[in-house]
Amino acid sequence: MRKDIIALARAVLDACRARKLKIALAESCTGGLIAAALTEIPGSSDIFERGFVTYSNVAKQEMLGVPADLIAAHGAVSPQVAEAMALGALDHSRAQIALSVTGIAGPGGGSAQKPVGLVHFGLARPERPTLLVEKRLSEPDGAMLSREEIRRQATQTALRLLLEGAEPQRYA
């Protein structure tokens, strides 16, 4: 795993450890890469509570409680589903902070409305509004990134959001 991602994961664990926060993840397009980055670091088990890799819509429903009608109305790659995934991860864990990611890593599966590289993130903490972030990951000229690069950048973004979410003055 890349050193920059490991350094970011270490910073997330340190920030959460300082605030006694446990983390839960709900990953779709990253397929467990965020969890892998966190668990690459020895001692992460005191902070990383659990991760859900909910790649299919059925998994999102069964493991996180995402309503089927929400997915039908908005699609799996939507802010609504990202929010439901993050809240579901909180509800189905003992964590105090949860992050979700759902997107289109490609190279197929995109459309004009939801192109390859579209990724939605949800960051949830009890008694706070869910922070929703949309990213459209592409080359500076708009060209499509590789599947690997989309997943890497989504992992990096997710770790940055977790770091932000652990800081009380940055996410209120």
Q: How many other C-beta atoms lie within 10 A of the C-beta of residue 65? A: 14
Distance set, CA 41 to CA 49, 61, 85, 103, 136 (Å): 14, 30, 25, 26, 29
The boundaries of the domain holding residue 84 are 3-166
Distance set, CA 124 to CA 9, 88, 100, 114, 164 (Å): 18, 9, 9, 24, 12
Q: What CATH number is associated with residue 26?
A: 3.90.950.20
* The total number of structural domains that make up the chain: 1
Output the pLDDT for position 171.
Answer: 56
List, for the chain, all residue ranges whose pLDDT scores fall below the cut of 70. Answer: 168-172
Q: How far apart are CA 90 and CA 108, in angstroms?
A: 31
Q: Does residue 97 belong to any structural domain of this protein?
A: yes
Output the pLDDT for position 169.
Answer: 62
Q: Does residue 95 belong to any structural domain of this protein?
A: yes
What would the pLDDT profile of 2-28 be if each residue is shown by its tens digit?
999 999 999 999 999 999 999 999 999
